[in-house]
Amino acid sequence: MPLSDRAILREPTVTVLARPQFSEPGHLPVQWIGEATDGERLAEYAGRLCYMSQRNPAGRDTREYLENIKKQGHGSVLEHANYSLLLEGISRSLTHELVRHRAGFAYSQLSQRYVDESDAQFVMPPAIIGDVPLEDAWTAQVGAALDSYVGLVEQLMSRYAWVDDKVHRRKMAREAARGVLPNSTETKIVVTGNARAWRTMLELRSSEAAELEIRRLAVLALRVLQQEAPAFFSDFEIYLASDRREAARITYHKV
């Protein structure tokens, strides 16, 4: 059966699920200057505690303070601020790369073993988009894979009809049939990471050397996080690379 337009995804989405909430203790207040998010103030507070500099002797506002932190490479204070993002419209090929970033991250991903993929969507690789013959060939291939999956689930449900527990029977069928689904199958994943970990991942995956789909996601996630906590990500610059696609570069490496 031909895939509908709805089944083909060409862009990812990023949704913020959680952000830091900072509660300043009354007995150790900081002399704050300027506007800041809770995450930024949490990092500044942690940094000032190390030297008991709550009186802010240099008279820096929060974002100046964190700029100096990045410049000096004292990135450990950024680890206190965690951000949780829901990533959708991405392929399982992408998440195989994403979850290699372990330090400072937590992941919860859609399970093909438990979730019915009969109405699965598929993420068209950026390199294919805009080339009609390539788009048609790719669409035909993922459509055939989906048909195979649906057929296998039906056959496996019949084969295991003797299993009285219907939930377990469906799980047995789906876990076997999912093997024919391609890496382009869309998945959803919740990713929680501290600001330092996000910086490292974004530096690597938004670069021109990164694979195109994860690079596209990294640039989008960077934009979202720059809105959430500008001081943590202000030294990233998004630009149009020589391949006419967006990439990003960073000023302070491996903070």
Active site residue 205: yes
**b/e map 199-229, b = 16+ CB within 10 Å:** bbbbbbbbeeebeebbbbbbbbbbbebbebb
- The single residue of 92, 205, 215, 216 carrying the catalytic annotation is 205
| Beta carbons of 112 and 178 less than 8 angstroms apart | yes
Type of residue at 51: Y
| Full strand arrangement of the beta sheet holding 82-91 | 13-18, 82-91, 186-194, 105-109
Two tokens, residue 74: 């004292």
Those residues whose C-beta lies under 8 Å from the C-beta of residue 61, and which sit 6 or more positions away, are 32, 33, 34, 35, 36
Q: What is the dihedral of CA 24, 25, 28, 34, to 10 degrees?
A: 10
Q: Residues 176, 232: contact at Cβ < 8 Å?
A: no
Structure tokens at 25: 């203790």
User: Buried b / exposed e across 126-143, counting CB within 10 Å, b at 16+?
Assistant: eebeeeeeebeebbeebb
Cα separation, 37 vs 34, in Å, equals 10
| Cβ atoms of residues 122 and 142 within 8 Å | yes
| Residues with a known catalytic role | 205
